Amino acid sequence: MPDLLPMLASPGKHVPPGEVWRHEVKWDGVRALTRVADGVVTMTSRNGNRITAAWPELAVAPDVGDDTVVDGEIIALNERGVPDFRVLADRMHVRKAATVARLAERVPATFMVFDLLRLGGEDLCGLPLEERRRRLGDLDLSRAGWQVPPEYDDGAMLLEATRAQGLEGIVSKRVDSTYRPGQRTQHWLKFAHRHRGSFVVGGWRPQTGSTDRLGALLVGEPTADGLLYRGRVGSGIGPKQARTLAGVLEPLASSTNPFADEVPRVDAKGTYWVEPVVVVDIDTHGAGYARLRQPSYQGVRSDLTPDDLFQEPS
């Protein structure tokens, strides 16, 4: 499928209401266009690379006829039972068969199929989404272990439900939309959740190419086991924010790493440690993860102390 690329959603501002829209869960996984031809499954990534070898448990051909193409997302669940892209990270670029087989057993993947582009050689891209989904629902994908996720009429309800469950967000699609390979369109809209939390600053890193201008913070969460590292935050720190933070953190310089667990070497290298007393607000995708996802700095919380963030274990 070198000539076929996935259709892309545009960022949305407000979840659209009305009967012309259907809404789906936004899966936190690996996008894959997948073709079944002559009993062989070929999976292709968003940028056109073949990735079938990394997902052997998904490469069993379902009974869908010859020359059939579907669009979907490869997902895996984390320890909370929530789809998490990082769970797939160890598998994405592995091609050695023995290693792939071991990882497939340890971190099994599921293919969530949400669109049908070709069926038995018939091009369906020009049909409305409603018809493509109807035909997709008629297929038997059980042999491959693939799943067709549900659609919902109430987008606002789904957005709040996915927020409460810690999922990535939703995608809203017009029922009359055709499939436009490789195009980003307003007929598909994506809504990713941002969660805000408060964290303790344990260190800072200079901006790339500088030795003294603050470019990123290392933040953690106070727990019964000490301050646990949650990630590095550089987004949202412009020149003005950098000056403010530098003024707050400079008097707190310390020679000791305040984190109780290991800070990855790539983050620790070149870091200036500080006494862990400053609390900042961070926006991030998803909630409840060991590491912040796409974090963005929002400001210093002078009204909070690390003790205010500590929660007794239940």
Task: Give the domain ranges of the chain.
Answer: 8-192, 195-309
pLDDT at residue 2 in the model: 46
Spatial neighbors of 30 by CB under 8 A, at least 6 apart, are: 45, 51, 73, 74, 75, 85, 88, 92
CA 195/CA 36 separation, integer angstroms: 39
Q: What's the average model confidence in pLDDT over 116-141?
A: 96
Give the confidence band of 173 by pLDDT, cuts at 50, 70, 90: very high
Least confident of 18-27, 93-102, 150-159: 93-102
pLDDT at residue 145 in the model: 84
DSSP 8-state class, residue 288: S
pLDDT at residue 131 in the model: 98
191-216, pLDDT tens digit by residue?
988 777 889 999 999 988 776 789 99
pLDDT at residue 24 in the model: 98
Superfamily covering domain 195-309? Nucleic acid-binding proteins (2.40.50.140)
Other Cβ atoms closer than 10 A to 279? 21
Spatial neighbors of 201 by CB under 8 A, at least 6 apart, are: 217, 218, 219, 249, 274, 276, 278, 279, 280
**Active site includes 269?**
no
* pTM beyond cutoff 0.85: no
Superfamily covering domain 8-192? DNA ligase/mRNA capping enzyme (3.30.470.30)
